[in-house]
Amino acid sequence: DVVLTQSPLSLPVTLGQPASISCRSSQSLVYSDGTTYLNWFQHRPGQSPRRLIYKVSNRDSGVPDRFSGSGSGTDFTLKISRVEAEDVGIYYCMQGTHWPPGYTFGQGTKLEIK
């Protein structure tokens, strides 16, 4: 089965500084139609999760442009250009290319303010 490995698992960041999270897949996430179904989710404390990025690099509506996604094949990155206090939470990558097993999340990366 496809496994998504995130790093780091813990990310202390100073306000206003950039942050970067890596997501590596055990298999290519390019689907037969050429689309790469790799998404990024944010889960703030006490809230429901929400998707930030879909298909590698597309921001969902309402997501600040300080969030960006990139990558291809098996290696993907979520970047926050300048971390704000509201960005505290856990970030997950999720693949939707391989069925079964269906959607698969990475282990999560906990972002905190230094």
Partner 1 sequence: EVQLVQSGAEVKKPGESLRLFCKGSGFTFTNYWISWVRQVPGKGLEWMGRIDPSDSETNYSPSFQGHVTISVDKSIKTAYLQWNSLKASDTAIYYCARLETYPDYWGQGTLVTVSS
Residues that bind partner 1 in the complex, under the rule CB under 8 A: 1, 41, 43, 48-51, 54, 60-62, 90, 92, 94, 96, 99-108
Q: Are 110 and 6 within 8 A, CB to CB?
A: no
Nearer to partner 1, 66 or 96 (CB): 96
CA distance 63 to 66: 8
Q: Are 22 and 75 within 8 A, CB to CB?
A: yes
CB of 85 to partner 1, least distance (A): 22
| Helices within the chain (DSSP H only) | none
Nearer to partner 1, 56 or 90 (CB): 90
CB of 43 to partner 1, least distance (A): 7
CB of 105 to partner 1, least distance (A): 5
Identify which of 22, 10, 35, 24 has the alpha carbon closest to the alpha carbon of residue 97: 35
